[in-house]
Structure 1
Amino acid sequence: MTTLVKAVYENGVLKPLKHLPLKEQEKVSLLVTPLGEWRKELEHLLRSVHSRTHKFSSKEIERDISLASREVRKNK
């Protein structure tokens, strides 16, 4: 099971904000990304995408994404 879980760091312990279906003492791997950092990276990515796509209409972009998606599914 792979899942994205938000957590709060308190007194040296990460506390998940929702129940996790794990056994006691079960080991997991964590990738920790502070939300502020994650938001900055996402905003940068969106600016980059918008700067490259501003000359295309929404319909053109949607069509290209749909075609690419179908192609990927076909090649699986």
Structure 2
Amino acid sequence: MQAQPGFESSGMFKSFVKTLRTQGIIGLYRGCIPPLWGSGIYRSTQFAVFEAGYTFLDTPFGRSELPLTGGLQ
């Protein structure tokens, strides 16, 4: 929004009011869907990779006790 003409000299509150007047309530949420989808895809991938790695390392080798740690695996 800072790069758009008409918003460069106004503050946060004025930008909020101008957006509300010109585009309505929907204008406040415009542009939130792509980051929401991107974040969902990123988190899903992160979870899948973590689960795959955790499952792969869940072997007797991965569960061996670390020396001098009092039972940490």
Fold shared by both chains (TM-score > 0.5): no
Greater Cα radius of gyration, structure 1 or 2: 2
Report TM bin, short chain: 0.3 to 0.5
Higher strand share: 1
TM (norm. structure 2) is 0.34
TM (norm. structure 1) is 0.32
Higher helix share: 2
